[in-house]
Amino acid sequence: MKAVVFESYGQPEVLKIREIEKPDVPDDAVLVRVRASSINVAEWYSMTGLLIGRILSRELFKPKDTRLGADFAGVVEAVGKNITDFKRGDEVFGGRSGAYAEYVSVKNAVALKPANVTMEEAASVPTAGITALQGLRDHGKIQPGQKVLIHGASGGVGSFAIQIAKAFGAEVTAVCSPQNVEHARRLGADHVIDYTKEDFTRNGQQYDLLLNVNGGRSWSEYKRALKPNATFVLIGAPKTPVVGPIGLLIKTRLATLRASQKFVFFIAQFNRADMQVLKELIESGKVKPFVEKAYPMTRIADAMTHLGKGHAQGKIVVTIQSSNTKVP
């Protein structure tokens, strides 16, 4: 099968399409013919080879795992003999490493695709949707009526976070760039702050829960916007060179050791139960995926470059083309 690989660290030009082995189908897995995937910041960090990532993975000079991608939507091609809840021909979506490929074999994080969205829309959901869901529900302990602020509210995670927070009954304030103000309003934010015109850390408002998706403010600034017993959930930070979000994580962790507010950093975990929750939220109309642009797999470098510019609205999707994708 054809798949996107990177054989050295670098900018999007290192991404290539190669012929690799098609995955097997274990007894407890399904083989999915991938129709679409999406771009996440984690793929950017893997591709560019941040120093901290190289050290943690022990892949200092070149990547050992040359595959990329995590999100997929597609059609079940085959099922293992122990699988009873899926059948050949089912349309599904989920998460599996190496998803920039024509096929993935997946055991856990897979669910039937919501009937009211396209393959491209479904492919935009898994990583961003699960991150927003787990950040708000599991780590933020969101409750109806709470005042929730989402810093970095226009990208993939932020777009889902606005809608999921509203689905939980919160009053949502979105912080974003001027070109994304109307987008945040369309997603259902009760209040939208253009950060070029207003400083949310100095306007006197305080929140029960702050979800930091892509902001790089200091703890002393964030603290001004938090109630005494609020929760601050750090998901991401600006794509700074060398260490990525680790610098902000370390500084914030140290600064909050004696704070009354709760500080949480987490990495989302794929699982079937949460994929089912997202499916139900989408089918109910409470959450709608928003795809800014879809690229064919042959333009994977352009898609990654688009992400790297840092101003995407919603998600950037890659359509996996299985018949006319040329292999060098």
Distance CA 326, CA 18 (A): 9
The DSSP code sequence of 155-173 is: SHHHHHHHHHHHHTT-EEE
* Residues 102-139: tens digit of each pLDDT: 999 999 999 999 999 999 999 999 999 999 999 999 99
| Helix/strand/coil for 267 | coil
**Domains, the chain, ordered by start:** 2-124+290-319 (3.90.180.10), 128-265 (3.40.50.720)
Enter the tokens of residue 215: 């902001």
pLDDT in tens, 146-158: 999 999 998 899 9
DSSP bridge partners of 211 = 150, 233
- The pTM score is 0.91
> What is the C-alpha end-to-end distance of the chain, expressed in Å?
13
Q: What is the pLDDT of residues 276-321, one digit of tens each?
A: 999 999 999 999 999 999 999 999 999 999 998 877 888 999 999 6
